[in-house]
Amino acid sequence: MDYRPWTIDQNMLQRPRRNRKSEVIRQMVQETHVSAANLIFPLFIVDGTFQKSEVASMPGIFRYSIDNLLREIESCLKLGLNSFDLFPNIEESLKDKYATESHREQSLYLRAIREVKKNFPEACVVTDVAMDPYSSDGHDGIVENGEILNDETLEILGKMALAHAQCGADIIAPSDMMDGRVGYIRNLLDENKFTNVSIMSYSAKYASAFYGPFRDALNSAPKFGDKKSYQMNPANQREALLEANLDELEGADYLMVKPALPYLDVIKLIKDNTELPVAAYNVSGEYAMIKAAIQRGWLNEQRAITEVLTGIRRAGASAILTYHAKEVLENKWL
């Protein structure tokens, strides 16, 4: 039986290919754009001077001592890349059970925030609030008898957040996944008159295999067990909405999903259910995966990277934290 309702030459009114017939038209009807304004560049910091060491599992990404960090930020600003998320690599001897180094006035991290804001007040500095880089257990909370304590951890996270605000942080980003931390931090910031410091909450942060290279960069892997009692189960979507709703009620200014690529549905879901801007973290393992394939000549670098970033934007992310941020601007790929 011929079920076609029309014959091809007469009646095909809709031919979507017409809108793809030239570069000019393709660009005219393009729905999603990525620009420098959407990007946040994560940067790793180490102690010392003149330091610049490449992360083995993240080709092209380095740990910088503060002097070189300032040079790196200056070169990014020249490219129109204005937002940075800082992460510290802390010497093992400075780690303890309560992450005390995280709020010590002269710690590497707090010095770095102050220096960046002093030299580049116009740059937007995002700071990471979590215990793991400073914790001798390598976890995001206080560990007792193999358990991660929630409410006791909030106090330390609060001290960190307040210290970051005092050093000039623009946006505080709690990445620990303790319950109630957004409300706790918001309240503490407000009590201390930091009502203008924003909170970008890692709302839906999954217990992911894709953080491996980041933990190499910071030497911050858990010393025992895993993070499944606080980071989310990759199989869950509705739970992400619960987390996002709570963070919004507690005063978050941005809701983040992390990682990005295996969780585009979660980005879209949260975007459809909030008026707040949504951020997505295109994490270290996603970067490593792309770079490894490119090094082998298996993918076209420019096309693969811009497709990844466009996909994350299309899913609904306003801000993308990505290790590709500088290279896409340096190479004028956007």
The catalytic site residues sit at 205, 258
Judged by CB under 6 A, the number of residues near ligand PBG is 12
Residue with the two structure tokens 């010095």? 111
* Segment interacting with ligand PBG (CB under 6 A) among 111-119, 163-171, 207-215, 234-242: 207-215
Q: Is 128 in the site for ligand PBG (CB under 6 A)?
A: yes
Q: Which is nearer to ligand PBG, 208 or 274 (CB)?
A: 208
Q: How far is the CB of 159 from ligand PBG (least distance, A)?
A: 16
Strand partners, 211: none
Q: Is 322 in the site for ligand PBG (CB under 6 A)?
A: no
Task: Tell me which residues in 153-182 interact with ligand PBG (CB under 6 A).
Answer: 175-176
Task: Tell me which residues in 264-293 interact with ligand PBG (CB under 6 A).
Answer: 283-284
* Segment interacting with ligand PBG (CB under 6 A) among 61-69, 93-101, 159-167, 210-218: 210-218
Q: Is 234 in the site for ligand PBG (CB under 6 A)?
A: no
Task: Tell me which residues in 7-66 interact with ligand PBG (CB under 6 A).
Answer: none
Q: Is 185 in the site for ligand PBG (CB under 6 A)?
A: no
* Segment interacting with ligand PBG (CB under 6 A) among 115-123, 127-135, 146-154, 305-313: 127-135
Q: How far is the CB of 210 from ligand PBG (least distance, A)?
A: 6
**What are the residues binding ligand PBG (CB under 6 A)?**
128, 130, 132, 140, 175-176, 211, 214-215, 227, 283-284
